[in-house]
Amino acid sequence: MAAVPSGHYAIQNQIGVLCAEYARPGSKVYVGQPNTAEVPIWRTIDTTDGTMVIIRTRSGLDELYLGYPADPQPGSSLVVASRPALWELRSGIDDAHLLVAVPAAQTSDNNDGLVVGIGRARSGVLATYDPKDDNQSWSFKTWTL
């Protein structure tokens, strides 16, 4: 499993930056081109079992999380959630990129291949891992608040 230390990051791929539509639970997550005044920042916190929680910062609320449905499936939308969701980081297309994956234990069928990808209209979705899809690999750019 790949590692990123707990900290603040802009999470991006070759298309753009992971963004939240609004700072409220249930809002969609998408890949956008933020203006320089408001780069979307996510905070990562490692857990004791090797997974991590990804928190949306600058929300104006207590804590909002990068989340997925209770029974994540391919095509499920990523959302801003009021409860933490667990994530795993795995090796991506190269040393500078990682896959952001749903731990198999979080799925009803023990599916070990769900990763953050890009759906229609640049929406953030869970996708079945495809080693040929460079848009499933993300870099974590350190950010100082």
CATH of residue 73's domain is: 2.80.10.50
Q: What is the pLDDT of residue 1?
A: 54
- 66 is a domain residue: yes
29 is a domain residue? yes
Confidence at 38, pLDDT banded by 50, 70, 90: low
In a domain, 109, yes or no: yes
Checking phi first, is residue 60 left (phi over 0); if not, alpha (psi -120 to 50) or beta? left
Tell me what the pLDDT averaged over the chain comes to. 87
Closest by Cα among 66, 41, 52 to 3: 52
How large is the average pLDDT for residues 20-41?
80
Position 60 scores a pLDDT of: 54
In this predicted model, which residue has the larger pLDDT, 144 or 8?
Answer: 8
| pLDDT confidence band for 59 (50 / 70 / 90) | low
In which band, very low, low, confident or very high, does the pLDDT at 35 lie, cut at 50, 70 and 90? low
Q: Residue 4 in contact with residue 143, Cβ under 8 Å?
A: no
Give the residue numbers spanning the domain of 130.
7-142
Share of the chain above pLDDT 70, in %: 90
Residue 91, domain member (yes or no): yes
- Above 80 in pLDDT, residue 34? no
What's the distance, Cα to Cα, between the start and end of the chain in Å? 27
Beta bridge partners of 76: none
Domain count, the chain: 1
Q: Average pLDDT in the 38-48 region?
A: 84
State the pLDDT confidence band at 49, using cuts at 50, 70 and 90: confident
Q: Residue 2 domain-assigned?
A: no
Average pLDDT estimate for 31-40: 70
Number of CB atoms found within 10 A of residue 74's CB? 14
